[in-house]
Amino acid sequence: MAKRPDPELRAVEAQVALTLTVDDFEAAARDMLPEMVFDYYAGGSGEEWTLRENTRAYGRWVIRPRVLVDVSNVEPMTTVLGQELPFPILLAPTAFQRMAHRDGELATAHGAASLGAIMVVSTIATVSLEDLAATGVRRWFQLYVLKDRGLTAALVKRAHAAGYEAIVLTVDTPLLGRRLRDERNSFALPPGIGLANLEGSGLPESSGSGLFSFFLERHDAALTWDDVAWLRSLSPLPLVLKGIVTAEDTRLAVDAGVDAIVVSNHGGRQLDGAPATLDVLPEVVEAAEGRIEVLLDGGIRRGSDVFKALALGARATLVGRPYLWGLAVNGADGVRQVLEIIRDDLMLTMALAGRPAIVDIDRSAVAPAPAARERGEEP
Ligand SMILES: Cc1cc2nc3c(=O)[nH]c(=O)nc-3n(C[C@H](O)[C@H](O)[C@H](O)COP(=O)(O)O)c2cc1C
């Protein structure tokens, strides 16, 4: 006799069937995850003003469609740092993915690999960088600089040896932003989940409030531009600085000889009151003068957001929370589904806007939105 389908499984399947947008995935993830975990992923710092601004900023621009353009072939392929990408969306580094799904970063890697997307692996991942390399995913390594410079150098060397194709130095986190949701929830890593890249290094590996002791005790708040040359000397890999939001720092990054920057405010998790990334993108792109590639993350939830970022000068974009929701809801398949949702929406946007190739998405493709739209009202 055929087994009756498990009602819980049916409920999950029904939920997955309704996940047409990133917001649907977020709602489903909220239902499935413990509140402490959902809040850790979803939350920002302070009053979460910057977090909200990141998504609102996309509503301040409209797309200017061109018509009677042959869009029978839309091609989202591009290059970043000379590396070919099937579409201009990378997976931003996010910590502690085994809280979302038992396979954590491994599932994310499989989901990204199924589409040929680049995964930026966090220093504080819960699967080791070598185990992730074994999945074959295209990978960059995100670095937090520790006071122990020997340990920091060892991380970079391990990443190089394991086939990572770039080092992404996060520069917006000298200290950890104040995350009130985590304080209220007494956030702690669940038992058995630890900092896989730092095992045996005397850092907190599992349980307790590992995250906070990690930052407070080991992270180097004294890092400056003078250290960038040292970081560049550790490996021949391209160096990307993640967390720049001003023209001044863009010029310093160019002078420091880095290969690219990511306009990022850490998804609104660091300085509350920092501007939305899309708002500062034009000033950063202007300051870069085409000498380094400018990427952007923060608040991207749909393909039209990617389109607007590209029109304002981003070479490519990264997403953080969206794929975490996919991971929580449906593991590797969920990560793939979320990336497909954003990619397919980008391709449809390109077609309907009469911009069938990435190079066609230029500054003339967007314009400031009417004020009513900016205030969140229907025009
Ligand atoms: C749960 C979570 C953990 C994160 N962990 C890291 C990290 O370990 N290193 C890092 O450089 N950025 C980290 N970030 C920031 C992301 O790389 C990225 O800048 C941000 O998520 C982009 O915004 P979005 O979530 O709106 O797409 C984290 C973000 C989230 C949401």
pLDDT value of position 208: 47
Cα 42 to averaged position of ligand 1 atoms, centre (Å): 10
pLDDT value of position 370: 87
On whether residue 103 sits in a domain, the answer given is yes
Model confidence band, residue 378 (pLDDT cutoffs 50, 70, 90): very low
Cα torsion 74, 334, 263, 117: sign? negative
On whether residue 376 sits in a domain, the answer given is no
- For residue 243, the ligand 1 atom closest to its alpha carbon is 19
Cα–Cα distance list, 327 to 11, 66, 141, 193, 350 (Å): 17, 36, 20, 16, 27
Q: How many folded domains does the chain comprise?
A: 1
Question: pTM score, two decimals?
Answer: 0.94
pLDDT value of position 374: 55
On whether residue 377 sits in a domain, the answer given is no
pLDDT value of position 181: 95
The residue whose CA is least distant from atom 15 of ligand 1 is: 266
pLDDT value of position 88: 98
Q: What is the 3-state secondary structure (H, E, C) of the chain?
A: CCCCCCHHHHHHHHHHHCCCCHHHHHHHHHHHCCHHHHHHHHCCCCCCHHHHHHHHHHHHEEECCCCCCCCCCCECCEEECCEEECCCEEECCCCCHHHCCCCCHHHHHHHHHCCCCEEEECCCCCCCHHHHHCCCCEEEEEECCECCHHHHHHHHHHHHHCCCCCEEEECCCCCCCCCHHHHHCCCCCCCCCECHHHCCCCCCCECCCHHHHHHHHHECCCCCCHHHHHHHHCCCCCEEEEEECCHHHHHHHHHCCCCEEEECCHHHCCCECECCHHHHHHHHHHHHCCCCEEEEECCCCCHHHHHHHHHCCCCEEEECHHHHHHHHHHHHHHHHHHHHHHHHHHHHHHHHCCCCEHHHCCHHHEEECCHHHHCCCCC
Cα 348 to averaged position of ligand 1 atoms, centre (Å): 27
- For residue 42, the ligand 1 atom closest to its alpha carbon is 31
CA 175, 132, 45 angle in degrees (round to 5)?
25
The residue whose CA is least distant from atom 21 of ligand 1 is: 320
Cα 84 to averaged position of ligand 1 atoms, centre (Å): 23
- In this predicted model, what pLDDT tens digit does every residue of 241-299 receive, in sequence order? 999 999 999 999 999 999 999 999 999 999 999 999 999 999 999 999 999 999 999 99
Cα 95 to averaged position of ligand 1 atoms, centre (Å): 7
- In this predicted model, what pLDDT tens digit does every residue of 117-126 receive, in sequence order? 999 999 999 9
Please state, for a pLDDT cut of 70, what percent of the chain lies above it: 89
Model confidence band, residue 101 (pLDDT cutoffs 50, 70, 90): very high
Cα 91 to averaged position of ligand 1 atoms, centre (Å): 10
| 323 token code pair | 């794929």
The residue whose CA is least distant from atom 7 of ligand 1 is: 94
Best residue for ligand 1 mutational test, from 269, 296, 325, 338 (most atoms within 8 Å of Cβ):
269
In whole angstroms, give the CA distance from residue 257 to residue 235.
14
The residue whose CA is least distant from atom 1 of ligand 1 is: 41
On whether residue 301 sits in a domain, the answer given is yes
pLDDT value of position 155: 97
Mean pLDDT (the chain, rounded): 92
Phi then psi for residue 274, to 5 deg, are -70, 155
pLDDT value of position 217: 76
Q: Which residues pair with 357 in a beta bridge?
A: 75
- For residue 299, the ligand 1 atom closest to its alpha carbon is 26
pLDDT of 376 > 90? The answer is no
- For residue 321, the ligand 1 atom closest to its alpha carbon is 25
Phi-psi region of 73 (alpha: psi -120 to 50; beta: other; left: phi over 0): beta
pLDDT value of position 377: 46
- For residue 40, the ligand 1 atom closest to its alpha carbon is 1
pLDDT of 6 > 80? The answer is no
- In this predicted model, what pLDDT tens digit does every residue of 302-333 receive, in sequence order? 999 999 999 999 999 999 999 999 999 999 99
- In this predicted model, what pLDDT tens digit does every residue of 213-240 receive, in sequence order? 666 678 889 999 999 999 999 999 999 9
On whether residue 69 sits in a domain, the answer given is yes
Model confidence band, residue 18 (pLDDT cutoffs 50, 70, 90): confident
Phi then psi for residue 168, to 5 deg, are -110, 105
In whole angstroms, give the CA distance from residue 201 to residue 356.
50
pLDDT value of position 362: 98
On whether residue 215 sits in a domain, the answer given is yes
On whether residue 82 sits in a domain, the answer given is yes
Print the domain residue range for 48.
Answer: 7-368
The residue whose CA is least distant from atom 29 of ligand 1 is: 94
- In this predicted model, what pLDDT tens digit does every residue of 153-197 receive, in sequence order? 999 999 999 999 999 999 999 999 999 999 999 998 888 888 999
Pocket of ligand 1 (CB under 6 A): 41, 54, 92-95, 122, 124, 142, 170, 242, 264, 266-267, 269, 297-300, 319-321
pLDDT value of position 200: 75
pLDDT value of position 375: 62
The residue whose CA is least distant from atom 28 of ligand 1 is: 94
On whether residue 378 sits in a domain, the answer given is no
Catalytic residues: 266
113: CB partners within 8 A, 6+ apart: 119, 135, 136, 137, 138
Tell me, what CATH number does 92's domain have?
3.20.20.70
